[in-house]
Structure 1
Amino acid sequence: MNFIEQLNWRYATKRMVADKAVPQEKVNTIVEAFRLSASSYGLQPYNLLIIEDKELLKQIQPLAFNQPQIVETSTLLVLAVWDKATQERIDAFFNLIASERGIPVEALAGYKAMVEGRVNGADEASVFNWMARQAYIALGTGLAAAAIEEVDATPMEGFNPDALDELLGLSAKGLKSVVIVPLGYRDEANDPLANAKKVRKSTEDFVVSL
């Protein structure tokens, strides 16, 4: 399987086959790709929610401008960023490193000070935007994994995040939704873009050599 061919194959699917569920092993692979994605400092200041309940998906659809993929999907992924980079969360991150690598947490003091300097030295909006960018790195990794698995994945910012957060009770979890991704299989009979040519800048226009 050629990675570039699969990237050419993928697109932001507008309609999905409602009765064709993505096999669990493929969902697991895509979720694992999100988990293993790069993030600044390795901090992963976000969580991935998996929603498969059909009734809940129906409640989410009007919050996402009634886009049909929301109820046609078998699995909806929600990337949600920490509302705040608290000291407790930073401490938990470094305790995890120490535990996984079998080293004393004190050995990570310099590294920890660097992370604390990044999140403590800026206003909350700036830190949140930085954390959201980390989630988007994970999004790119997840979309690429879905393409390899030949699963359609449509990234969506077109939803009401405050309303979705309230519906899902994310405030109590210290999270804020930033992007949602329905997984499924393209409905070629009803999606006008299913057989459309992929349009991107040419390499010559895209790459700037210095």
Structure 2
Amino acid sequence: MTPEELLHSLNWRYATKEFDAEKTIPNETWDAIEQSLILTPSSFGLQPWKFITVTDQKIKDELMIHSWNQRQVADCSHMVVLCAKAKVGNDDIDVWLDRLVEIRGVERESLDGYAGMMRGFLANMDERDTIAWAKHQVYIALGQLMASAAVLGIDACPMEGILPAEYDRVLGLQDGGYLTTVGCALGYRSAEDKYAEIPKVRYQRDSVIGSI
């Protein structure tokens, strides 16, 4: 991909307001999008999240009710609910260290310094702080999801206008250790969506980018 192609994809994307409910994202394309979520970077690599893909029409219809009746939820091909881990502690660090040992073939003892740094970081936060931190990580994943979709020619609409507690109930997350944070509807824009042709409005480069 050239720099020009990248910028074309990012200019092409917009927060899709109307999806074509008759079009479905192909399995191969969707697999790549899910892999892009898995590849999202996170603080310390701890990945304090879960991503739930909803394609069942009945569930999408129910979620729409708890999304201020925004049709994107019901009409999109795939609705992704991005969830933050409700509690992150030393057990999660141990699981992550085990995964590092498995993949990289290093000795567990060689990770002691890294482990101590992570434990110290979490020890300085209460539960509310930890949840806020985890939700910040989820937004990194949302950005990666939307950018990856744009590169693949898939439309997306990030959605904060949802009722997280109701999403948790519908998706059975109440006791699952995860909290709905944000949603993202993905699919193909409708030919009737007038917002597709409206020019983007962004500040000038020198208003938002500085250099030293």
2:59–2:170: 8 Å Cα contact kept in structure 1? no
Q: Which of 121, 126, 129 is the matching residue for 1:126?
A: 129
> Could you tell me the TM-score, scaled by structure 2's length?
0.95
Say yes or no: does 1:117 pair with 2:120: yes
Distance in 2 of aligned mates of 1:76 and 1:123:
32
Choose the corresponding residue for 1:182, options 185, 190, 196: 185
Shift of 1:180: 0.7
User: Structure 1, unaligned stretches of length 5 or more?
Assistant: none
Q: What's the CA shift string for 1:117-145, capped at 9, x where partnerless?
A: 11121111111111111111111111110
Residues 13-52 of structure 1, C-alpha deviation per residue, up to 9 Å, x if partnerless? 0010001111111111111111101111111110111111
Aligned-pair CA distance for 1:206: 1.7
Moved over 4 A (4+): none
- Structure-2 separation of matches of 1:126 and 1:19: 42
SS of the residue corresponding to residue 19 of structure 1 reads: coil
Q: Which moved more, 1:2-11 or 1:117-126?
A: 117-126
Q: Which runs of 5+ in 2 are unaligned?
A: none
Aligned partner of 2:72 in structure 1 is 69
After superposition, residues 120-199 of structure 1 pair within 5 angstroms as 120-189=123-192, 191-199=193-201
TM-score w.r.t. length of structure 1: 0.96
2:33–2:145 contact (8 Å) kept in structure 1: yes
1:107, 1:142 → 2: CA distance? Answer: 33
Percentage identity across aligned positions?
A: 35
For the aligned residue pairs, the C-alpha RMSD in angstroms reads: 1.1
Contact 1:188 1:195 in 2 (8 A): no
Instruction: Give how far 1:86 is off.
Output: 2.6
- Aligned AA (1:143): M
Aligned length: 209
Equivalent in the alignment of 1:203? 205
Q: Residues 69-98 of structure 1, C-alpha deviation per residue, up to 9 Å, x if partnerless?
A: 111011111111100003222211111111
Q: Which amino acid aligns with 1:113?
A: G
Match of 2:10 among 7, 10, 30: 7
Q: Does 1:49 align with 2:52?
A: yes
Distance in 2 of aligned mates of 1:206 and 1:180: 26
C-alpha contact 1:153 1:181 (8 A) present in aligned 2: yes
